[in-house]
């Protein structure tokens, strides 16, 4: 069986910023999203908030609706190089390299957009990268919805189970690195959970359960 080291991205490999929030501001600055796009996004956001669809709020990609997928991927690549890659923790990269040299399969698992995860995967020389996939129509146009499992909260646990089957992973000898309490659902599946730059609630949970706590 294989052993894996599974890393969250936002707040873990990068600290104090969210890749998708940075991208949102980047699109506004570059005039790549219109006022109409923002109104549509806000309408969907508040509609779901009113109906207590808290998790769906994070699935709201309607600011990208009707955009060409390939153009958005290109913009993500540019944004990553200019605005995000400087924030990647050197300590996180060192940890990844150490585990990779020790024979661990490196998995990046994040709720951020899949093209961003692919940028991180290449930068960190990870083996597998899984993020939130945008739904596109048969003409390559983004619909505003997501495609497949939302890799956030319980969705991450489902994806880890899928990875176990796909790559024959022994979770008892594997690591998981994350910074938020919401990630406990997949962290407690592995033998070696590590709280990184931990939120107060995750730090408390980690202390109670005697998990390793580190800063990147």
**Domains of the chain (ranges plus CATH)?**
4-214 (3.40.50.1000)
54, pLDDT greater than 70: no
Residue with tokens 């991205």: 9
User: How are the residues of the chain apportioned to helix, strand and coil, as percentages rounded to the nearest 5?
Assistant: 50, 20, 25
Contact 44, 144 (CB under 8 A): yes
132: β partners:
113
How far is it, in rounded angstroms, from Cα 6 to Cα 170? Answer: 12
Of 30-34, 35-39, 89-93, the one with minimum mean pLDDT is: 35-39
Of 104-113, 121-130, 139-148, the one with minimum mean pLDDT is: 139-148
The confidence score (pLDDT) of residue 42 equals: 64
The confidence score (pLDDT) of residue 61 equals: 80
Residues shown for the chain? 216
How big is the CA angle at 107 (ends 102 and 109), to the nearest 5 degrees?
150
Contact 151, 130 (CB under 8 A): yes
The confidence score (pLDDT) of residue 60 equals: 64
Contact 185, 154 (CB under 8 A): yes
CA end-to-end span of the chain, whole Å? Answer: 29
Task: Share the mean pLDDT of the chain.
Answer: 90
166: β partners:
none
Taking only the tens place, the pLDDT of each residue in 140-176 is 999 988 899 988 888 999 999 999 999 999 999 999 9
194: β partners:
177, 212
User: Mean pLDDT over residues 25-49, rounded?
Assistant: 71
Residue with tokens 């619909």: 143
197, pLDDT greater than 70: yes
The confidence score (pLDDT) of residue 59 equals: 57
27, pLDDT greater than 70: yes
Task: Tell me the two tokens of residue 184.
Answer: 């406990």
Measure the CA dihedral 194/123/115/8, to 10°: 0
pLDDT band at 191 (very low <50, low <70, confident <90, very high): very high
Task: Tell me the two tokens of residue 186.
Answer: 């997949």
Contact 7, 108 (CB under 8 A): yes
């Amino acid at each position: 069986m294989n052993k894996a080291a599974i890393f969250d991205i936002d707040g873990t490999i990068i600290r104090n910023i969210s890749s998708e929030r940075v991208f949102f501001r980047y699109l506004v600055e570059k005039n790549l999203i219109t006022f109409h796009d923002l109104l549509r996004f806000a309408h969907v956001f508040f509609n779901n908030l009113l109906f207590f669809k808290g998790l769906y709020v994070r699935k709201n990609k309607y600011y990208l609706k009707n955009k060409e997928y390939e153009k958005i991927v290109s913009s993500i690549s540019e944004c990553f190089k200019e605005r995000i890659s400087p924030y990647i923790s050197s300590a996180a990269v060192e940890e990844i390299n150490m585990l990779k040299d020790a024979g661990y399969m490196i998995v990046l698992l994040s709720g951020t957009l899949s093209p961003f995860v692919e940028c991180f995967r290449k930068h960190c020389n990870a083996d597998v990268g899984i993020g939130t996939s945008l739904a596109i129509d048969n003409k390559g146009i983004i619909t505003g919805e997501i495609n497949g499992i939302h890799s956030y909260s319980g969705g991450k646990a489902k994806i880890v189970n899928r990875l176990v089957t796909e790559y024959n992973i022994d979770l008892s000898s594997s690591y998981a690195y994350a910074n938020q309490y919401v990630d406990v659902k997949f962290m407690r599946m592995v033998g070696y959970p590590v709280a990184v730059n931990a939120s107060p609630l995750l730090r408390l949970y980690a202390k109670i359960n005697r998990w390793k706590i580190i800063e990147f």
